[in-house]
């Protein structure tokens, strides 16, 4: 970890991210998968034994649903051919009729997505010390989302909103390490290396009531919680908000949780989740599956993660 950087530099008396939490070099000098390395075959095989009912809960938002939160312009869905064309006279050769479409969207703005490790950095260096000049107009030459393997492992729901007894946490509420411990204790779970941790803030429900409210201050994790999760060697941190971390950031910092988890630790962030159904079912630990599209040099991928109970 760069000695020069301190996401909390402006806060006197705060401890900077500890060098021992950095994962640079841990999986080799040429590694581009980061904490996904924690999802070993053993971790995977153990996770496969978790399901009891075989029920599947989808954790992604519906793309194109006006009720699904997003950040920026909505996804674009163009139909290239549809039934109307046949009604208007298009021929159906040998009876064959078809509808086909085209998709266009900003990865980080409009859909449930997994961040690539090359999505954010500071001091001109990305995770594992890669030079940031890898990020060019034709994509990421290092740490693109095509370097992220499928995530198949143990998922753990950290249901902060439920623990606090609210529909959703307050705007600007910072989820702390203590909050996470409280939620785990309440669920009777403990974190394990390689876990895929899903933080439920309930913030997805803010979209329904007020768009403007949604994009202002919002609940999420802060550096304290991020360090706690990094110390427990999780592979992935997801949340039901637009960027996992709390807004406002600590004074003098911009996206400190992204900077720390992605760039220092190589831990993946999964954003715009829908955790409502999982919460309704009182899920705690489960088989978690998230397979990113293999987009060459992509800064992230739209994704459809699931929990198997």
Residues 98-127 contacting a second copy, CB under 8 A: 98-108, 111, 118-124
128 binds a second copy (CB under 8 A): no
Q: Is the Cβ of residue 18 or residue 133 nearer to a second copy in the bound state? A: 133
By CB under 8 A, the count of residues binding a second copy is: 103
Does 92 engage in binding with a second copy (CB under 8 A)?
yes
Q: Which residues contact 209 (CB under 8 A, 6 or more apart)?
A: none
Tell me how far apart the alpha carbons of residues 216 and 204 are, in angstroms, rounded to a whole number: 13
Is position 294 an interface residue for a second copy (rule: CB under 8 A)?
yes
Considering only 3, 94, 188, 209, the residue that binds a second copy (CB under 8 A) is 94
Contacts of 184 (CB under 8 A, 6+ apart): 156, 158, 190, 191
Where in 244-263 is the site for a second copy (CB under 8 A)? 252-255, 258-259
Within residues 204-233, the interface with a second copy by CB under 8 A covers none
Closest separation in Å from C-beta 165 to a second copy: 30
With contacts defined by CB under 8 A, name the span among 12-20, 55-63, 184-192, 197-205 that binds a second copy. 55-63
What angle is formed at CA 129 by the lines to CA 125 and CA 133, rounded to 5 degrees?
45
Nearer to a second copy, 52 or 165 (CB): 52
If binding is defined by CB under 8 A, does position 49 make contact with a second copy? Answer: yes
Determine which helix (DSSP H) or strand (DSSP E) holds 30, and give its type and residue range: none
**Shorter beta-carbon distance to a second copy: residue 144 or 219:** 144
Two tokens at 147? Answer: 């370097």
Backbone φ/ψ region at 89: left (φ over 0), alpha (ψ -120 to 50), beta: left
With tokens 């933080």, the residue in question is 199
Distance CA 17, CA 59 (A): 31
Residue 226: C-alpha distances to residues 45, 69, 81, 119, 246 (Å): 27, 24, 47, 17, 11
Q: Which tokens hold the place of 283?
A: 């899920």
- Give the nearer residue to a second copy in terms of CB position, either 199 or 308: 308
Residues 134-153, mask of contacts with a second copy (x by CB under 8 A): xxxxxxx-----x--xx-x-
Nearer to a second copy (CB atom), residue 103 or residue 178? 103
**Nearer of residues 106 and 166 to a second copy, judged by Cβ:** 106
């Amino acid at each position: 970890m760069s000695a020069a950087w301190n996401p909390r530099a402006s806060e006197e008396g705060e401890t900077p991210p500890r060098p021992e939490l950095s994962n640079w070099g841990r999986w080799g000098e040429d590694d581009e998968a980061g904490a996904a390395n924690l999802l070993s075959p053993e971790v995977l095989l153990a996770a496969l034994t978790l399901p009891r009912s075989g029920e599947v809960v989808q954790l992604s938002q519906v793309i194109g649903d006006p009720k699904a939160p997003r950040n920026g312009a909505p996804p674009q869905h163009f139909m290239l051919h549809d039934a109307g064309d046949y009604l208007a006279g298009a021929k159906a050769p040998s009876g064959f009729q078809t509808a086909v479409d085209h998709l266009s969207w900003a990865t980080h703005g409009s859909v449930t997505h997994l961040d690539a490790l090359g999505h954010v950095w500071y001091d001109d260096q990305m995770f594992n010390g890669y030079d940031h000049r890898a990020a060019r107009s034709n994509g990421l030459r290092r740490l693109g989302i095509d370097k992220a393997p499928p995530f198949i492992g143990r998922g753990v729901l950290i249901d902060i909103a439920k623990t606090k007894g609210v529909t959703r946490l307050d705007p600007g509420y910072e989820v702390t390490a203590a909050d996470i411990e409280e939620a785990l204790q309440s669920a009777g779970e403990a974190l394990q290396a390689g876990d895929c941790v899903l933080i439920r803030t309930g913030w997805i429900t803010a979209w329904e009531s007020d768009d403007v409210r949604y994009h202002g201050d919002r609940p999420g994790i802060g550096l304290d919680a991020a360090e706690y999760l990094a110390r427990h060697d999780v592979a992935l941190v997801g949340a039901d908000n637009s960027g996992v971390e709390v807004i406002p950031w600590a004074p003098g910092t911009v996206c400190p949780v992204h900077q720390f988890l992605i760039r220092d630790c190589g831990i993946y962030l999964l954003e715009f989740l829908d955790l409502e159904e999982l919460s309704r079912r009182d899920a705690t630990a489960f088989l978690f599956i998230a397979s990113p599209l293999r987009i060459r040099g992509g800064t992230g991928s739209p994704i459809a993660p699931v929990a198997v109970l």
